[in-house]
């Protein structure tokens, strides 16, 4: 009985974990590659909640905020470097692209609905991957020219920046998280056969803590017979299994598209090398492009065998 009760509580908390910090790029990332051919673990975990009502909107808004914060930092870096007549044209190009990605994430969040969640997950993964590529490129271009004094100045300026745009995004995210948690609580209460609008409304308004909401659900759940609890547990497990299958199909599709894009870029570089007369180097890149295409095709094949797409 206790095990089943904990299971229900944890399922509710599944939505509440959105309070954990969203990850765009690690500060101590030592990978110098400027392309991401596969999807990182943080992104895989972040797509979980996009299966539920309001989840996609939350993640897209978090992504927008993270990109805009990176833009602010990049603009500070550019300002510092421009004062010593450094070539900043490539850095400005990267910032412009990041701003476009932030706008794209914002528009996708505005248009996101439960019915088009598949498209939202696809866009979320693509925008995040492109943003991470650009951030790594920016970092690689600046890491040798920024002095320790520059880095201290950047940190100082960033601590003083608190724009209305970022504040507004933060409030939107909080509101959507409350909507998400209220919706998940309401669905669980429906499964238990209870209509506790007071608790749901408190969660929606941000007046109920996670602990209070969990306690209410436990109280309602305790009225169930053993047979009802077993039935509920099976339903929740089936729901979780369907969510996992849905997520892995979306991840596979996004990964396949990423590999095909990487293959095209590598193929373009191979062609340029061949035009320059560097046949051996071109051949190496052509082989890499073929390997990337083959890997993408294998992903498609695996998902089709598993009943996806």
> Mind giving me the DSSP string for 99-134?
HHHHHHHHHHHHH--STTHHHHHHHHHHHHHHHHHH
What is d(CA 51, CA 124) in angstroms, rounded to the nearest whole number? 13
Per-residue pLDDT at 58: 92
Closest by Cα among 188, 255, 237, 247 to 216: 188
CB burial of residue 88 (10 Å; 0-12, 13-18, 19+):
middle
CB hemisphere CA count around 23 (13 angstroms): 15
Per-residue pLDDT at 39: 60
Per-residue pLDDT at 303: 58
What is d(CA 215, CA 32) in angstroms, rounded to the nearest whole number? 47
What is d(CA 166, CA 128) in angstroms, rounded to the nearest whole number? 18
Per-residue pLDDT at 223: 77
**What is the CB neighbour count within 10 angstroms for residue 258?**
22
Tokens of 230: 């077993």
Per-residue pLDDT at 192: 76
Q: Output the CA angle 249-169-187, nearest 5 degrees.
A: 50
**What is the CB neighbour count within 10 angstroms for residue 292?**
21
Beta strands in 145-230 (DSSP E): none
What is d(CA 14, CA 58) in angstroms, rounded to the nearest whole number? 14
What is d(CA 171, CA 16) in angstroms, rounded to the nearest whole number? 16
Return per-residue pLDDT of the chain as tens, 309 residues: 444 454 454 454 444 444 434 667 544 444 444 444 556 677 777 787 888 889 899 999 999 999 999 999 999 999 999 988 778 999 999 999 999 999 999 999 999 988 888 889 888 988 998 899 899 999 999 998 999 999 999 999 998 887 889 999 999 999 998 898 888 888 888 877 788 899 889 989 988 877 787 788 778 777 777 887 788 778 878 877 887 787 777 777 777 877 887 788 788 878 888 888 888 888 888 888 888 888 888 876 765 555 555
Closest by Cα among 173, 230, 200, 187 to 22: 173
Contact 158, 75 (CB under 8 A): no
Q: Output the CA angle 201-12-169, nearest 5 degrees.
A: 65
The CA distances from residue 120 to 114, 216, 282, in Å, are 9, 33, 37
Radius of gyration from C-alpha coordinates of the chain = 23
Contact 28, 254 (CB under 8 A): no
Q: What is the CA 190 to chain-centroid distance, rounded? A: 29
Number of residues that make up the chain: 309
**What is the CB neighbour count within 10 angstroms for residue 122?**
18
Per-residue pLDDT at 260: 83
Per-residue pLDDT at 25: 55
Q: Output the CA angle 13-19-24, nearest 5 degrees.
A: 125
What is d(CA 155, CA 280) in angstroms, rounded to the nearest whole number? 45
Torsion angle of the four alpha carbons 56, 62, 65, 69, in this order, in degrees rounded to the nearest 10: -140
What is d(CA 112, CA 11) in angstroms, rounded to the nearest whole number? 24
């Amino acid at each position: 009985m206790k095990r089943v009760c904990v299971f229900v509580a944890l399922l509710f908390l599944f939505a509440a974990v959105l309070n954990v910090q969203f990850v765009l790029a690690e500060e101590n990332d030592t990978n110098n590659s400027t392309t991401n051919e596969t999807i990182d673990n943080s992104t895989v975990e972040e797509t979980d909640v996009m299966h539920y009502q309001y989840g996609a909107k939350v993640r897209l808004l978090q992504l927008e905020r993270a990109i805009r914060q990176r833009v602010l930092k990049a603009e500070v870096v550019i300002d510092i470097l421009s004062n010593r007549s450094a070539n900043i044209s490539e850095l400005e190009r990267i910032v412009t692209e990041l701003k476009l990605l932030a706008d794209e994430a914002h528009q996708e969040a505005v248009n996101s609905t439960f019915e088009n969640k598949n498209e939202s997950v696809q866009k979320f993964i693509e925008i995040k991957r492109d943003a991470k590529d650009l951030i790594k490129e920016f970092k690689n271009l600046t890491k040798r020219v920024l002095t320790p004094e520059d880095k201290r100045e950047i940190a100082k300026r960033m601590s003083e920046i608190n724009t209305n745009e970022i504040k507004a995004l933060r409030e939107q995210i909080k509101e959507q998280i409350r909507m998400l948690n209220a919706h998940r609580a309401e669905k669980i209460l429906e499964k238990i056969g209870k209509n506790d609008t007071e608790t749901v409304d408190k969660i929606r308004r941000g007046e109920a803590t996670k602990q209070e909401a969990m306690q209410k659900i436990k109280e309602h759940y305790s009225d169930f017979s053993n047979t009802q609890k077993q039935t509920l547990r099976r339903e929740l497990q089936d729901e979780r299994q369907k969510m996992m299958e849905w997520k892995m199909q979306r991840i596979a599709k996004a990964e396949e598209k990423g590999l095909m894009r990487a293959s095209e870029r590598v193929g373009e570089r191979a062609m340029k090398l061949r035009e320059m007369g560097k046949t051996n180097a071109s051949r190496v890149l052509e082989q890499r492009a073929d390997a990337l295409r083959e890997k993408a095709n294998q992903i498609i094949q695996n998902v089709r065998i598993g009943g996806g797409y």
